[in-house]
């Protein structure tokens, strides 16, 4: 009997320990407990580096125009145009390199004097220790500047109450098709 109990509790620990080590527990009770422990939680810095593939052309675009005014959405600024995206994020600039997540949300041309986007999206991680966790970014993206800095304003899962900065720079842009590969560096503060 003692032996059985030992074996059972061992399995219990193993089963629980794997998901707990890799991702945050979900559900209202788990979130409440997480907040109760917050005063003792340590802040940590996590750095990300990945490539974002914005595919607007071809048979399988991952960015599609969902709204545009018939008056102002003209080159070179396209003021008022809005695209919904589900762009893949990969470890390298090659579109076939390992996928780490998706950028899901929308962007719209929001400046009447230069081509600049309002970015409203979630980075949804689909691999490794961040699988299932998200970071939310809201910022201004003047596409033709070398470095664009955008705030990371929150997150879910292991990134609850996260804050950070994303820096984007375009590493490849096809002016004919409009497809782009953008390098992202993200520095984010969150809790252990």
Exposure pattern of 103-132 as b/e (b: 16+ CB <10 Å)? bebbbbbbeeeeebbbbebbbbbeeeebeb
- Least Å distance, CB 161 to ligand NAG, is 22
Give residue 20's region: left, alpha or beta (phi > 0; psi -120 to 50).
alpha
* Binds ligand NAG by CB under 6 A, chosen from 31, 86, 111, 132: 132
Task: Find the part of the chain contacting ligand NAG (CB under 6 A) among 30-38, 78-86, 91-99, 107-115.
Answer: 91-99
- Least Å distance, CB 177 to ligand NAG, is 3
Task: Find the part of the chain contacting ligand NAG (CB under 6 A) among 2-10, 140-148, 151-159, 172-180.
Answer: 172-180
Minimum CB distance to ligand NAG smaller for 119 or for 182: 182
Site for ligand NAG in 55-74 (CB under 6 A): 57, 70-71
Residue 191 tokens read as: 């809790």
CB of 99 within 8 A of CB of 88?
A: yes
113 binds ligand NAG (CB under 6 A): no
Q: Cα(134)–Cα(158) distance, rounded to whole angstroms?
A: 8
Please give the distance of CA 35 from its chain centroid, rounded to a whole number. Answer: 23
Q: What is the CA radius of gyration of the chain?
A: 20
* Binds ligand NAG by CB under 6 A, chosen from 32, 94, 129, 149: 94
95 binds ligand NAG (CB under 6 A): yes
Task: Find the part of the chain contacting ligand NAG (CB under 6 A) among 30-38, 72-80, 170-178, 184-192.
Answer: 170-178
Count the residues of the shown chain that bind ligand NAG, applying the rule CB under 6 A. Answer: 13
Please give the distance of CA 39 from its chain centroid, rounded to a whole number. Answer: 27
Residues sharing a CB contact under 8 Å with residue 121, sequence separation 6 or more, in sequence order: 85, 103, 104, 105, 106, 107, 136, 137
177 binds ligand NAG (CB under 6 A): yes
Which residues here bind ligand NAG, judged by CB under 6 A? 57, 70-71, 94-96, 126-127, 131-132, 174, 176-177
């Amino acid at each position: 009997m003692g032996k059985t109990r030992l074996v059972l509790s061992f399995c219990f620990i193993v089963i629980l320990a794997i998901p707990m080590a890799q991702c945050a527990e979900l559900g209202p009770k788990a979130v409440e407990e997480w907040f109760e422990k917050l005063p003792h939680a340590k802040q940590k810095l996590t750095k990300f580096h990945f490539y974002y593939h914005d595919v607007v052309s071809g048979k399988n675009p991952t960015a599609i125009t969902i709204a545009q005014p018939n008056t102002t959405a003209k080159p070179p600024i396209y003021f008022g145009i809005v695209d919904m995206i589900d762009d893949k994020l990969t470890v390298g600039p090659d579109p076939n390199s390992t996928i780490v997540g998706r950028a899901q949300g929308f962007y719209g041309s929001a400046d009447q004097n230069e081509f600049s986007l309002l970015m409203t999206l979630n980075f949804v991680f689909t691999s490794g220790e961040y699988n299932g966790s998200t970071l939310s970014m809201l910022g201004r993206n003047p596409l033709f500047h070398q470095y664009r800095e955008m705030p990371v304003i929150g997150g879910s899962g292991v990134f609850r109450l996260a804050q950070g900065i994303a820096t984007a720079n375009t590493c490849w842009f096809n002016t004919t098709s409009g497809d782009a590969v953008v390098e992202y560096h993200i520095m984010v503060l969150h809790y252990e």
